[in-house]
Amino acid sequence: MGQLFCCPQIECPSEEEQKKIMESTGFPKDRVCMLYTRFVTLDADGKGLLCKADLAAEIDFSQTPLAPLVIEAFFFPPWTREPETAPVSKVTFEHFCQVFSLFLPHRKENNWKENENDDMYAFMFVFIMMTHGDHDYVKLEDIKKICEFVHSDSIDISKLAKETYDGVLDELNTEKLTFDEFLTLCGPEKLNLNIRHLISVHLGNV
């Protein structure tokens, strides 16, 4: 899908709704209006709710291979600490904004009050992306797939860095990791996985 854009023919949400979303996401007003323009563009039946087909309609999956998993995870509560949780069948505009808020850099720039929780929520999104919310562990083979996408997407990844990733993963004595173990593994002292960059690349096509 194309990049987010503004369209004067599409009215933004009410001031009350804008304020609510700005407070819950940390987004400035222009970002809320921009996302609303995109949301309305995706809303094929005009009912104010998005289904999976709406999000997938214009994606080139050959260019964004993680997109199917991202779309699946899009329908789970975006701010959750629970690995096992139920998805929603339709996405509201507020939910739409909340998912985007996990991976855009606005929070730290604006001294966002939830900075300390941002990484946890972002990694939970990826954890659910890999488990589909069905269980409270992630398989090592799935983490390796995510690492492969990080390597292929980043121009800064060297052969040595890739060997370091593989070495850390191969040292694990388990094939399944809980969320806390996954969070530690992906942190700065281990894989130092740039989850926000990885997912924002795919969200940029939504």
Dihedrals phi, psi of 41, to nearest 5 degrees: -65, -35
The DSSP output letter for 179 is H
Question: Which pLDDT score is estimated for 67?
Answer: 82
d(CA 53, CA 43): 10
Question: Which pLDDT score is estimated for 118?
Answer: 72
Question: Which pLDDT score is estimated for 84?
Answer: 73
Per-residue pLDDT of the chain (206 residues; tens, 9 = 90+): 333 334 444 567 888 998 989 888 888 888 888 899 999 999 988 889 999 999 988 787 777 777 888 888 899 988 777 777 788 999 999 999 988 888 775 554 555 555 567 778 888 888 888 887 777 888 877 877 777 766 554 434 445 455 556 676 677 777 788 888 888 887 777 777 777 766 776 665 55
> pTM above 0.85?
no
Dihedrals phi, psi of 138, to nearest 5 degrees: -120, 145
Other beta carbons within 10 Å of 5: 9
Which of 44, 56, 4 has its CA nearest to residue 27?
4
d(CA 117, CA 20): 20
Other beta carbons within 10 Å of 171: 8
How much is the CA Rg of the chain, to the nearest whole Å? 17
Question: Which pLDDT score is estimated for 91?
Answer: 94
- Rounded alpha-carbon distances, angstroms, from residue 125 to 9, 62, 87, 121, 194: 33, 22, 12, 6, 13
**In the structure encoding, which two tokens stand for residue 42, read together?**
């995706």
Given a contact cutoff of 8 angstroms between Cβ atoms, the answer to whether 142 and 190 are in contact is: no
3-class DSSP state of 74: helix
Dihedrals phi, psi of 86, to nearest 5 degrees: -95, 140
